Structures are given as structure tokens and as C-alpha cells.
Amino acid sequence: MTDPQRADETDFAVALADAARTVDMVIDRLIPVPEGLEARVFEAMRYAALGPGKRLRPFLVLAGSRLFGVSRRSGLQAAAAVEMVHAYSLVHDDLPAMDNSDLRRGRPTCHKAFDDATAVLAGDGLLTLAFEGLAQPDTHGDPGVRCELIAALALAAGNQGMVGGQMIDLIAEHRPDLDIGAITRLQRLKTGALIAFSCEAGAILGKAPHEARQALRGYAHDLGLAFQIADDLLDVEGSPEKTGKPVGQDAAAGKATFVSILGIERARAHAELLVTQAVAHLDLFDRNAEPMRQAARFVVERRA
């Protein structure tokens, strides 16, 4: 007899790989390499955005879009935009002025494969292109919806989201005394906001009712924190071979994280509780929400 959990994991792996393949086709189309001296920055953008990542954010956009009957084409435009913003954040985060990392997704980081200045420009190019893509009529026939999507992504990526969170994170490196409330806020901004956008994009595209949006917001809120705790655990328990990036960096920097504050066992238990809560927010949706339920479980069970 088939183990239902195994079957779920297989379904999820297939769906994640499918989302990755299709979103990569859209990104590939959005970043053609032109003739001329500027080609180098396009090559660096492609290196960063088409590298071997999980594509979890695009998956969430497509899974959320499915709940509201959004066309595949619209969902993919939003999925490509969020992945390009994510890729930009990784490129800039790895720079010598920030985390100074040499390894990302099992390969040299963008500034190692190219150079620092090109990596800065590649990040800038990806961020800008994400919004250019969302503004295209392919994203949605209604310009009001495109505007709403652009505003939501700007909010998630900007000072009140990822950029603000990254600023706090840089300061936190010299503040090992930060408590769990401060760390929760930091992570909610740094990684949670973009994950929340990914979960809500389909609701925006599908002009979903308030109640459905609230449910997705609750799901995203818990999922984002669970994702970050899992990331902190991987930094302690993972290996560079599996994660494709250096591990042990938080402890080496003396940084306060969920794991340094709660310890491994309580951190894992907290992540599992958050996943249960995240899934409960989806109760008002039918079987179409199954991929989102599976994504929540994947987030805490992942090894990379």
C-alpha cells in the first residue's frame, strides 16, 4: 500500500519542479542577452536568477493563483517577478559589504563568478526588471490589478519589508542580546514579507474576497517564520554539500537567532507548531489548497 505522506511528498516534489521549470522559461524570456558591452550585466542577472534554487516563492504564487482561477500566464508573470526580487536579494546579501559569502546554491556567488560592481548592477537590474515585468499587460488585463500587485511587491521588498529587515539584520550582528520579539520582527521583515507577497499575489490577481486574503495572510505569516526557523536550524545542522551555501555562519558571527535563543529542540517544535497553524488557516479552502498545505510541511522538512 502507498504511504499517504510519501505520496504527498512526491506530488509536492513534482509540482515544485514543474513550477521551477515554467518560471525559469519566463525569466529566460525576460532576460535576453543583447549585443554590446552591457551584455555582461545580463549574463550576471541570468547567472543569479536561473541558478539551481528551490523556486519556493514562484511555487507559492502559482499555488495561490490556482485558488482563484487565475490564468497560468498571469500567475507566471508574478512568479517570475518575485523570484527575480529574491535572486537580487541573494546577490546583494552575498557581497563583501554584507555577508561576504563565496558559495550560493552550490556555486560561486555572483560577485565571485563576475566581480563586485557587476554583482551590484545585476541585483539592481533584477529588482528593476521584476517591476517592469509586472507592468506588462501579460500580467493582468486590468491596469488597476497590475498597480496593486506592483505596490504590494514594492512594500514587501522595500524599507517596510526586506530592505528594512536586512538593515536590522546587519545591526543585529553586533547585538547578541536581542530577544525573541526583536528576532521575530527582523525575520518577518527580511524573509517573511516576500513570502507573504508570494502567498497573496494570486488573491490580488484573482480579486479575491477579504476573508480569503485574510486567511492567506495568516498562512503566510506562520509559514514565513517556520521557513526562517528551518533556515536557522540548517545553519546549525546542515552541510554545505546539501544546502549549497556555507553553514555555521550565525554562530561564528555570534548572532542571535531562533536557535541560539530557543535551542535546537524548542526551535524545531516551534517551527512544527507554526506549520500546523499555517495549515489551519487554509481550512476555508477546498482540495485546491493542497499544494499550499504540502508546501508548509516541506518548509520544515527540507534539507536545503
Binding residues (CB under 6 A) for ligand GRG: these are 53-54, 56, 86, 89-90, 92-93, 105, 162-163, 166, 190-191, 231
The distance of closest approach from Cβ of residue 164 to ligand GRG in the complex, given in angstroms and rounded to an integer, is 9
In the complex with ligand GRG, the residue whose CB is nearer, 162 or 274, is 162
Name the residue with cell 543585529: 172
The distance of closest approach from Cβ of residue 134 to ligand GRG in the complex, given in angstroms and rounded to an integer, is 18
Sequence-distant (6+) residues with CB within 8 A of 126 are: 45, 48, 49, 84, 85, 87, 88, 91
In the complex with ligand GRG, the residue whose CB is nearer, 92 or 140, is 92
Residue number with the smallest Cβ distance to ligand GRG: 53
Q: What is the CA radius of gyration of the chain?
A: 19
The distance of closest approach from Cβ of residue 215 to ligand GRG in the complex, given in angstroms and rounded to an integer, is 23
In the complex with ligand GRG, the residue whose CB is nearer, 54 or 185, is 54
Q: Which amino acid is at 139?
A: T
Buried b (16+ CB within 10 A) or exposed e, 201-239: bbbbbbebeeebeebbebbbbbbbbbbbbbbbbbbeebe
The distance of closest approach from Cβ of residue 302 to ligand GRG in the complex, given in angstroms and rounded to an integer, is 8
In the complex with ligand GRG, the residue whose CB is nearer, 105 or 185, is 105
User: 57 with 223: CB under 8 angstroms?
Assistant: no
Distances from the Cα of 177 to the Cα of 144, 188, 263, angstroms: 45, 19, 15
The distance of closest approach from Cβ of residue 83 to ligand GRG in the complex, given in angstroms and rounded to an integer, is 8
In the complex with ligand GRG, the residue whose CB is nearer, 70 or 82, is 82
